[in-house]
Amino acid sequence: MQTQIQARIKHWLSLDSDAKSRDEIQALVDQGAQEELAARFAGRLTFGTAGIRGVVGAGPMRMNRLVVQQTSKGVAEYLKAQVENAASRGVIIGYDGRHDSKQFAEDAASVLTAAGFKVFLTSKVAPTPLVAFGVLHLGAAAGIVVTASHNPPQYNGYKVYWGNGAQIIPPHDTGIAARIELAANSPVDMLPLDVAIESGKLVMLEADYYQAYRQGVLEAEVLQNHTRPELVSLAYTAMHGVGAEMAETLLKDIGVTLVYSVAAQREPDGDFPTVNFPNPEEAGAMDLVMAEAHKQGAMLACANDPDADRFAVAVRRPDATPAMPASQAYQMLTGDQVGVLLGHYLLSHAGDDQRLLCCTIVSSSLLTRISETSGARCETTLTGFKWLTNVGMSKQTQDNRFLFAYEEALGYTVGSMVWDKDGLSALVAFVQLTAELAAKGETLWDRLESIYRQFGYYLNRQVSIALSGEPGAPTIGEQLRALSPSEIAGRALVSVDDISLGVRRFADGSEEAIDLPRSDVLIYRLEGNARVIVRPSGTEPKVKCYYEVVEPFGEDEGMDAVQRRAEATMEDFVSRHQAGLPKA
């Protein structure tokens, strides 16, 4: 074993107070598991804009109690240096239903209270949106939620919110990371929880706190449409996560009585026994909730992911019959379709002083088109909710308040009570939209078709492409920038955005600046409103491509026909673009 790895192991064992973790490392040493030890001690889990996330296990490249303690010490030291009265304002901490989450949350509380901070710790599992909500509700300097969201069972994570209630963005991520590196060099002080409670440094957030979030949703300005909620029927699953109690309560509060919860997935279970992957986007994850909806003849099959910050929905098809399999009777809406439906709906009810929306560069362009025709403003940000909400906050004014943001990966925020994605309030808003349509004798499919007929059928697809590259050859990004194409896949180029330079170049050679943080992304806009976004890998010969095509409706043409035409167009677009990519 390398001397350097041996030294790291010795240092780790000298700091780790968790006997289980130390035994795990010692067992690997005794087994001579050099590759595994080298992997676990190759560095540290990287602290980025969302915090840290990784497989649970011993060692600095895994999620464990010592990593959580060192991370918490780094957060404490950074907050003290950056935020006046941070310690007295305090930090709110919550956690999901994974096996280690409560222990990790308690360790974070012990470290922060030892560092002099007041800490608000949820008394039981909490949906992630409740922690984001709590930062502003309690006036805290920061928030921490222990969650791995919809990752597989072996994962856990540690997510940080800044005092504005949004996920941290640069430079706070690198600032905290530097403090964590320093914290990892020496023992971490911890205050026992009972002592922290007796001294008043630790406040347990009990039922009244959860009720504050509930009341906030009920009073939210954008969630006051109570048109015929009794007409809506839905099946719901928490996907073995922490959303069921609050979701069911909120639905009852707004008058929805026909709610059928999937019992096998209702309670938190860190093993996620009924799904291969607890992510509503994954194939098979929605099977049980669609089966329950089909059994009950419900309009909707709704899901939150395990920490309830995402929302997914399958809608009963117009041609559904009881004899059909559930997978044919119900169709999943894409994240873009839900985002467009919610944005369009909210704009139809919002006042003239609340018409600011946000979507990401890889989301459908349709919401931007809808906003333009509605006298609203839709800001485009880099991918990730950290950008959506921070931009939403920075761009809103007294005359144009923030209304809605979404990303295609099933993330939505409705209004400004929670400055992060919130699958619970999104569920409420979507049900209220469904009820309004039902009261008119219309369906969600009717509304989608109406939008598509007005603006065109927007179809989006994401494709990751591995390319064969020679060692030392220019990167894919360098080659793409050198090509300067006049057309892509037979479509004339309208403009190309090079986000790494902050420049938009038009086909006529003119340029304009782009107000986005620098990122290695190229956006090609083409004739016919088509678009391809390319995110080259800086380390491998591969690219991630996001495609969009728009098909207009012909006179008397049905939606199924336009959809088939759009899918054929997309197939041709993707294959021709891939064929034209550099091979190295």
Distance CA 366, CA 378 (A): 10
In DSSP terms, 234 is beta-bridged to: 259, 300
Distance CA 139, CA 163 (A): 7
How far apart, in whole angstroms, are the C-alpha atoms of residue 378 and residue 371?
6
3-state helix, strand, coil in the chain (%, to 5): 40, 20, 35
- The Cα–Cα gap between 255 and 214 comes to 14
Whether 224 and 425 have beta carbons less than 8 Å apart is answered as: no
Residue type, 452: Y
CB 194 within 8 A of CB 260: no
Quote the strand ranges of 222-369, DSSP E: 233-237, 258-261, 300-304, 311-316, 330-332, 356-360
Q: Dig out the tokens for 420 from the structure.
A: 């992060």
The DSSP letter of residue 222 is G
- The structure tokens listed for 378 are 């839709």
The CA distance from 491 to 489, in Å, is: 6
DSSP 32: T
Is residue 199 annotated as part of the catalytic site, yes or no?
no
**Rg, Å, the chain Cα set:** 25
Q: What are phi and psi of 544, to 5 degrees?
A: -110, 125
Polymer length in residues for the chain: 584
The catalytically annotated residue of 21, 149, 364, 365 is: 149
* 474-477 long-range Cβ contacts below 8 angstroms, 24+ apart: 474/584, 475/536, 475/538, 475/541, 476/536, 476/537, 476/541, 476/542, 476/543, 476/581, 476/582, 476/584, 477/520, 477/522, 477/536, 477/538
Looking at residue 582, its amino acid is P
- Reduced to 3 states, what is the DSSP secondary structure of residue 328? helix
Is there a cis peptide before residue 171, judged by omega within 30 degrees of 0?
yes
DSSP state of 546: E
Classify residue 1 by its DSSP letter: -
Distance CA 425, CA 168 (A): 22
Instruction: Report, as residue numbers or ranges, the catalytic residues.
Output: 149
